[in-house]
Structure 1
Amino acid sequence: MPRPSVREQLVNAAAECFEERGFNGIGVQEITRSAGVPKGSFYNHFPSKEALAVEVLHRYGVARRLQMLEDETLAPAARLRGHFRFLADDLERFQFTRGCLYGNFGAELSTQSAEVRGQVEAALERWTAKVAALLQESRATGTLKGAVEPESLANFLVNAWEGAALRAKVTRSSKPLDDFFALFDSLVES
């Protein structure tokens, strides 16, 4: 049986460490220890901890399952609600201790790392564009309530989600997410 890639071990260990303790709360030594690899091997794969964080963000984005938003077998509003429900279930799976890595890194690193800030901003923009496209579909099918433009509502929903995820992390409760869904349901007919 082939040995797992040291690079993969580092990325997986860093993802866990960053989720649990944040970027500044963990060092390369702890990441390599958690990965079960020598510290020197880190620099064979990544020039810096910041470069590793960018790779972790990329993988986190894949795990957010944005492709759910493109499943045309479901109505646009159902896809959007299902996507946010998936994200809520993921937060609950960890008893609301982790939050959203985009929000966590954005809050922690936006003034420290232009590279990570740029990656978080780009990820949030991609997500918002997909949400806006679904809201535009909802408007075409008559399930979008009110006169708010889809792009503005998409920005609001993504921003509200990030705030709800942060508050759920602080309160260790689903209440902020429940509030998010109550407002979501008042804006988009499922």
Structure 2
Amino acid sequence: MPRASVREVIVETAVQEIHKYGYAACSVDTITKAAGVPKGSFYNHFKSKEDLGAEVVRRYAAESEWNRTTPGLSPLERLRARFTTMKDILIGNEYTRGCLIGNMAAERADHSDVIRTQVALSLTSWSDGITEEIEQAQAAGEISEKLDARQLGRFVLNAWEGTLLRAKADKNTQPIEDFFTVVFDTVLR
């Protein structure tokens, strides 16, 4: 198997470290030490920690478990399965970490246009995916066609991101149970 490039090792390590500890708690030195690469090599691949942060958001969005689908399910069942997978990951992490994109939005959106822009693009991509599944569920008669699919897609993702924050604070499943009940048993009917 070919050896990963230094840039790739830095990005993969940064995704893990920033997701675990947060952006502010991870210095370039911390990330390069965890990656096992010289600190100077960081600047061969990134102009700044901020540029790395944007790449971390992009990579997390592209490689997230969110992107995995479960074949053989109806559109609404697929959507529910995606959120169930994310719920299981959060519980498996003992209500820590949450969504790296949501975490970066909360931590950096007011301070970095580069990171904020990538967060917004990533959230839009995810809400577009939710919108597609809602449209498919509407076409299949699982969800009312009277509802605006694009607005619902944004709302469902926004509700999920808030759910993750609350679950991290409460350290229990109540916010998640509320999300599933309201979204799947009330809104998406």
Q: Above 0.5 in TM-score?
A: yes
- Identify the residue that residue 22 of structure 1 maps to in structure 2: 22
Hey, what's the Cα distance between the residues in 1 that align with 2:154 and 2:7? Answer: 35
**SS of the counterpart of 1:127?**
helix
Structure 1's 91 and 141: CA in aligned 2 closer, same or farther, altered over 3 A? same
Structure 2 alignment gaps of length 5 or more: none
Between 26-35 and 144-153, the greater mean CA deviation after superposition: 144-153
- Identify the residue that residue 6 of structure 1 maps to in structure 2: 6
1:83 Cα deviation from its structure 2 partner: 0.9
**SS of the counterpart of 2:26?**
coil
Between 119-128 and 8-17, the greater mean CA deviation after superposition: 8-17
- Identify the residue that residue 156 of structure 2 maps to in structure 1: 157
Between 77-86 and 142-151, the greater mean CA deviation after superposition: 142-151
| Aligned 8 A contact 1:77 1:138 in 2 | yes
Hey, what's the Cα distance between the residues in 1 that align with 2:115 and 2:17? Answer: 16
Q: Deviations over 1:79-107 (max 9, x none)?
A: 10011111112212211110111111011
- Identify the residue that residue 125 of structure 1 maps to in structure 2: 124
**SS of the counterpart of 1:105?**
helix
- Identify the residue that residue 76 of structure 1 maps to in structure 2: 75
Return the letter of the residue paired with 1:137.
Q
Hey, what's the Cα distance between the residues in 1 that align with 2:144 and 2:84? Answer: 20
Equivalent residues in 2 for 1:1-190, closer than 5 Å: 3-68=3-68, 73-145=72-144, 147-186=146-185, 187-188=187-188
TM-score by length of 2: 0.90
Aligned residues: CA RMSD: 2.0
Hey, what's the Cα distance between the residues in 2 that align with 1:91 and 1:140? Answer: 31
Hey, what's the Cα distance between the residues in 1 that align with 2:108 and 2:152? Answer: 26
**SS of the counterpart of 1:44?**
helix
Between 143-152 and 7-16, the greater mean CA deviation after superposition: 143-152
TM-score by length of 1: 0.90
| Aligned 8 A contact 2:167 2:175 in 1 | yes
Hey, what's the Cα distance between the residues in 1 that align with 2:118 and 2:168? Answer: 22
Hey, what's the Cα distance between the residues in 1 that align with 2:174 and 2:159? Answer: 13
| Aligned 8 A contact 1:68 1:79 in 2 | no
1:144 Cα deviation from its structure 2 partner: 0.8
Q: Deviations over 1:6-63 (max 9, x none)?
A: 2222112211221122111211111111111111111111111111112211221122
| Aligned 8 A contact 1:14 1:56 in 2 | yes
1:159 Cα deviation from its structure 2 partner: 0.5
| Aligned 8 A contact 1:64 1:87 in 2 | no
Structure 1 alignment gaps of length 5 or more: none
Structure 1's 157 and 2: CA in aligned 2 closer, same or farther, altered over 3 A? closer
1:3 Cα deviation from its structure 2 partner: 4.5
